[in-house]
């Protein structure tokens, strides 16, 4: 950590267009594109550059061409590889039209990958443009002009001389290819209310004025992020991934301090899952957020249909306490990559105070792109009242209902990721050893405080006794504590209120005849609730119907497939489930009939481990899906666009209407939707007639 701070302090802060206060420095783990990572031999020493527009490969391409065109002439004209050109190339590329920029990026990346002789060959070839027919010569000439223009502009306009006068080289050569900032279409705020980006509103229990300020800052964040390409946004995600990976032990310390969870739980379920999610974004976001080309039906012949995947604006993320780092970073980063500003409110029980901001800051995020606002449910309500463009909520059913009700007053779209009462179904042909271990982990991981924890365990009656014995045996071996080395199986409960819920459910179950097989020694108060295995339970008990959210695993026998499907579905919740069987066909058959959002087969809680899959629940477990491409779309406005030609044609369904048009249209429907060659012919003939007629009467209404 210390080294990171030191390096940050020595960083040069460069203001670049688009209000992106990016850091430009050497050896900085920020949002840089790391030359050192690229197999590029020309970079001197280990330097890192940050570019708004170019990937490390493309930067390598610029250096390569620079070296070829201007290899440097000692003191007076330093070699291209020494120059700090990235900040200038970014300014220059800001002027380019998107299509040209995309083309240049492809070319530079290509040249960055290729060996030197290929670059030389392409440049040589581009000089010979006159020897080729126009079709080939023109693009070669364009390459030559474009590459030389770029390199010479960079070189002569911005490089300082080496004689200590502090002059630019263009002062000496008398030519200044000055780059002037183009006027940006920034959103305009009235003078009096423009929030200062540096002036932070109060983010802890903010009042209404603070919240208004927070939303105004978010508006500026929206504008910034909206101007970035997805590739640019992903450079921040790559930096974030590096920072989290490097600082994971410190992050886990803070998670453990707030949650009291086992260290391995924090490593696996928060750090590992987050890194995997960020990796997913890096690999899949570009495609997932690109325009979608869809088919255009024959009735709309000649038109093109697209879906533009666009940002929604400002997303309000409200999170629970059980996986506080994961529930912060996953929605925040998905929202950011999709182009939104984010206001994030953590749970008041596990705020991880300062951690998310610090991690994002170190990764180069500006503090108005993502704002962390601390407070309880009341603060959550005030944030909703200020009208975000979407609410992404993870938490309890009761709060989800309140949020939806409030959102409905303003018609704010909501995504609700709520509680669960997940069943695990073990058939007689399952691998018992594996299923027992899976059940134990699925019930006890994170001390049972997971929305997809196993809370109902159905075991086929023919293996019930054996399964139960092994489960009891293994549960007794579990170790518990808030260790710092990772050698405790289970941590402690995070909140007193949840301890009270576990006690209430357990007391009632015992009263109604449940047998506590493991965990009898718990006093009902201590947050160190041991693993509790319960037998002889019935489905009228709260412990079988309501979310317990603690390390309690009640089990029940069943006799056949239809019965267990019925039992598993007999719940208000429908988040996740697992089916265990040696017969995969049967397991899949059962999985199809379960009314849940997710099912793991011969595994537990594993669907959420794959970030390419959607995640979410049915029934009271929630509304909407996030993660995977569905998650990217959950934070996007899917805009349908039809592109037609700017022709003089008048559409058949436009005015004027007439009996003739009606009849032609009616015949066209037969042609369109009946089958066979006659129908096809009818479609063609009537289609042509209708088009001609519509054009005629459309131009002169009196001719109808």
User: Residue 18 or 346: which CB sits closer to ligand NAD?
Assistant: 346
380 binds ligand NAD (CB under 6 A): yes
446 binds ligand NAD (CB under 6 A): no
As given in the structure block, the two tokens for residue 185 are 């279409």
Q: Which of 78, 288, 420, 698 binds ligand NAD (CB under 6 A)?
A: 420
The residue behind tokens 């305009």 is 188
Q: Which of 377, 413, 557, 609 binds ligand NAD (CB under 6 A)?
A: 377
Residues 207-266 that bind ligand NAD (CB under 6 A): none
| Per-residue binding letters, 388-407, with ligand NAD (x by CB under 6 A) | ------xxx--x--xx----
Spatial contact of 315 and 341, defined as CB atoms under 8 Å apart: yes
By three-state DSSP, how is residue 335 classified? Answer: helix
Q: Which of 127, 250, 376, 583 binds ligand NAD (CB under 6 A)?
A: 376
User: Residue 66 or 419: which CB sits closer to ligand NAD?
Assistant: 419
Binding segment (CB under 6 A) for ligand NAD, from list 35-43, 154-162, 227-235, 377-385: 377-385
DSSP helix, strand, coil percent of the chain (3-state; round to 5): 50, 15, 35
SS (H, E, C) 4-53: HHHHHHCCEEEEECCCEEEEECCCCCCCCEEHHHCCCCCCCCCCEECCCC
User: Whole-number minimum distance, CB 322 to ligand NAD, in Å?
Assistant: 5
Q: Which of 419, 491, 519, 698 binds ligand NAD (CB under 6 A)?
A: 419
Task: Return the number of other C-beta atoms located less than 10 Å from residue 693's C-beta.
Answer: 19
Give yes or no: 451 in active site.
yes
| Per-residue binding letters, 609-648, with ligand NAD (x by CB under 6 A) | --------x----x--------------------------
Residues 89-108 that bind ligand NAD (CB under 6 A): none
User: Whole-number minimum distance, CB 337 to ligand NAD, in Å?
Assistant: 19
User: Residue 202 or 399: which CB sits closer to ligand NAD?
Assistant: 399
Q: Which of 55, 256, 347, 600 binds ligand NAD (CB under 6 A)?
A: 347
Binding segment (CB under 6 A) for ligand NAD, from list 256-264, 270-278, 343-351, 635-643: 343-351
User: Whole-number minimum distance, CB 661 to ligand NAD, in Å?
Assistant: 54
Helix (H) or strand (E) holding 585: helix 584-593
| Per-residue binding letters, 515-554, with ligand NAD (x by CB under 6 A) | --------------------------------x-x-----
Spatial contact of 423 and 391, defined as CB atoms under 8 Å apart: no
As given in the structure block, the two tokens for residue 305 are 């249909």
User: Whole-number minimum distance, CB 575 to ligand NAD, in Å?
Assistant: 6
The one catalytic residue among 362, 415, 417, 517 = 417
User: Whole-number minimum distance, CB 323 to ligand NAD, in Å?
Assistant: 6
Residues near ligand NAD (CB under 6 A), total: 28
Q: Which of 232, 322, 342, 488 binds ligand NAD (CB under 6 A)?
A: 322
User: Residue 468 or 625: which CB sits closer to ligand NAD?
Assistant: 625
Q: Which of 48, 417, 422, 546 binds ligand NAD (CB under 6 A)?
A: 417
User: Whole-number minimum distance, CB 481 to ligand NAD, in Å?
Assistant: 23
Give the neighbor-by-neighbor strand order of the sheet with 304-311. 292-294, 304-311, 636-643
Residues 34-93 that bind ligand NAD (CB under 6 A): none
Spatial contact of 242 and 234, defined as CB atoms under 8 Å apart: no
The residue behind tokens 């030197």 is 116
Distance between CA 382 and CA 377 in Å, rounded? 9
By three-state DSSP, how is residue 292 classified? Answer: strand
Residues 478-497 that bind ligand NAD (CB under 6 A): none
User: Residue 282 or 404: which CB sits closer to ligand NAD?
Assistant: 404
Give the gyration radius of the chain's Cα atoms. 31
Using CB positions, name the residue nearest to ligand NAD. Answer: 380
User: Whole-number minimum distance, CB 540 to ligand NAD, in Å?
Assistant: 21
Spatial contact of 92 and 41, defined as CB atoms under 8 Å apart: no
Distance between CA 576 and CA 595 in Å, rounded? 9
Q: Is 6 exposed, middle or buried (0-12, 13-18, 19+ CB in 10 A)?
A: exposed
The one catalytic residue among 48, 362, 415, 451 = 451
Distance between CA 218 and CA 388 in Å, rounded? 10
Q: Which of 147, 238, 315, 418 binds ligand NAD (CB under 6 A)?
A: 418
Distance between CA 432 and CA 473 in Å, rounded? 13
Residues 556-585 that bind ligand NAD (CB under 6 A): 575
Residue 623 zone, left/alpha/beta (φ > 0; ψ -120 to 50; rest): beta
Show Cβ contacts of residue 300 under 8 Å, excluding neighbours closer than 6 positions: 642
Nearest residue to 151 via CA among 35, 48, 69: 69
User: Residue 360 or 403: which CB sits closer to ligand NAD?
Assistant: 403
**CA quadruple 472, 477, 483, 487: dihedral sign:** negative
User: Whole-number minimum distance, CB 247 to ligand NAD, in Å?
Assistant: 24
Q: What is the DSSP annotation of 452-505?
A: T-EEEEEEETTTHHHHHHHHHHHHHH--BS--SSS--SB---S-HHHHHHHHHH
User: Residue 232 or 498: which CB sits closer to ligand NAD?
Assistant: 498
279 binds ligand NAD (CB under 6 A): no
Distance between CA 691 and CA 652 in Å, rounded? 6
Helix (H) or strand (E) holding 286: helix 273-288
Distance between CA 285 and CA 121 in Å, rounded? 35
From the centroid of its chain, how far is CA 347?
A: 21
Give yes or no: 222 in active site.
no
Q: Which of 314, 319, 447, 686 binds ligand NAD (CB under 6 A)?
A: 319
Q: Which of 240, 318, 338, 664 binds ligand NAD (CB under 6 A)?
A: 318
Binding segment (CB under 6 A) for ligand NAD, from list 114-122, 157-165, 284-292, 415-423: 415-423
Query: Which residues of the chain form contacts with ligand NAD (CB under 6 A)?
Result: 318-322, 345, 347-348, 376-377, 380-381, 394-396, 399, 402-403, 417-420, 451, 547, 549, 575, 617, 622
For the annotated catalytic residues, the residue numbers are: 417, 451
């Amino acid at each position: 950590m210390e080294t990171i701070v030191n390096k940050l302090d020595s960083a040069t802060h460069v203001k670049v267009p688009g209000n992106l206060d990016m850091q430009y420095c050497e050896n900085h783990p920020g949002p840089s594109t790391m030359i050192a990572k690229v197999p590029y031999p020309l970079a001197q020493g280990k330097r890192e550059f940050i570019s708004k527009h170019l990937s490390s490969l493309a930067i390598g391409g610029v250096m390569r061409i620079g070296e070829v065109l201007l290899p440097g002439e000692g003191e007076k004209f330093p070699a291209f590889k020494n120059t700090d050109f990235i900040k200038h190339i970014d300014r220059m590329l800001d002027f380019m039209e998107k299509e040209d920029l995309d083309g240049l990026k492809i070319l530079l990346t290509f040249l960055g990958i290729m060996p030197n002789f290929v670059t030389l060959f392409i440049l040589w070839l581009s000089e010979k443009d006159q020897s080729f027919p126009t079709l080939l010569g023109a693009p070669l000439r364009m390459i030559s002009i474009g590459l030389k223009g770029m390199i010479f502009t960079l070189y002569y306009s911005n490089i300082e001389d080496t004689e200590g006068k502090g002059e630019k080289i263009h002062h000496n050569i008398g030519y200044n290819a000055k780059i002037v900032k183009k006027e940006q279409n920034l959103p305009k705020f009235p003078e009096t209310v423009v929030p200062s980006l540096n002036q932070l509103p109060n983010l802890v229990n903010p009042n209404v004025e603070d919240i208004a300020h927070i939303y105004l800052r978010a508006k500026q964040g929206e504008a910034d992020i909206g101007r970035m390409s997805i590739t640019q946004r992903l450079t921040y995600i790559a930096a974030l991934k590096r920072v989290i990976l490097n600082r994971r032990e410190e992050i886990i310390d803070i998670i453990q301090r707030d949650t009291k969870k086992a260290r391995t739980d924090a490593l696996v379920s928060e750090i590992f899952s987050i890194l995997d999610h960020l990796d997913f974004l890096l690999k899949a976001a570009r495609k997932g957020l690109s325009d979608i080309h869809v088919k255009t039906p024959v009735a709309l012949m000649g038109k093109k249909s697209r879906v533009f995947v666009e940002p929604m604006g400002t997303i309000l993320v409200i999170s629970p306490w059980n996986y506080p780092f994961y529930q912060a970073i996953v929605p925040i980063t998905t929202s950011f990559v999709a182009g939104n500003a984010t206001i994030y409110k953590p749970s008041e029980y596990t705020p991880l105070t300062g951690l998310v901001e610090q991690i994002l800051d170190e990764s180069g995020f500006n503090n108005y792109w993502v704002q962390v606002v601390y407070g309880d449910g009341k603060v959550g309500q005030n944030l909703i009242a200020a009208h975000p463009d979407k609410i992404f909520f993870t938490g309890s059913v009761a709060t989800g209902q309140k949020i939806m009700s409030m959102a409905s007053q303003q018609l704010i779209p909501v995504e609700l990721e709520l509680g669960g009462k997940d069943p695990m179904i073990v058939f007689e042909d399952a691998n018992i050893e594996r299923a027992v271990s899976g059940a134990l982990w699925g019930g006890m991981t994170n001390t049972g405080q997971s929305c997809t924890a196993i809370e109902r365990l159905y075991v086929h009656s023919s293996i019930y006794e054996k399964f139960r014995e092994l489960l009891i045996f293994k549960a007794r071996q579990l170790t518990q504590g808030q260790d710092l080395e990772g050698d405790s199986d289970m941590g402690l409960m995070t909140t007193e209120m949840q301890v009270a819920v576990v006690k209430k459910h357990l007391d009632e179950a015992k009263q109604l005849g449940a047998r506590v097989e493991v965990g009898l020694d718990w006093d009902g108060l201590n947050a160190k609730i041991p693993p509790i295995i319960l037998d002889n339970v019935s489905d009228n008990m709260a412990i079988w119907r309501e979310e317990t959210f603690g390390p309690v695993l009640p089990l029940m026998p069943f006799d056949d497939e239809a019965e267990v499907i019925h039992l598993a579905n007999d719940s208000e919740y429908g988040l996740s489930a697992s089916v265990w069987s040696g017969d995969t066909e049967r397991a899949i058959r059962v999985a199809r009939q379960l009314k849940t959002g997710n099912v793991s087969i011969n595994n537990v809680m594993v669907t959420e481990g794959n970030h390419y899959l959607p995640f979410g629940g049915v029934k009271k477990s929630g509304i909407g899906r996030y993660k995977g491409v569905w998650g990217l779309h959950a934070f996007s406005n899917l805009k349908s666009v039809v592109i037609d030609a700017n022709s003089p044609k008048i559409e058949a369904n436009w005015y004027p209407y007439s009996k003739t048009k009606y009849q032609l249209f009616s015949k066209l429907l037969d042609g369109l939707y009946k089958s066979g060659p006659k129908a096809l012919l009818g479609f063609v003939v009537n289609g042509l007639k209708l088009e001609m007629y519509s054009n005629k009467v459309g131009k002169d209404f009196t001719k109808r």
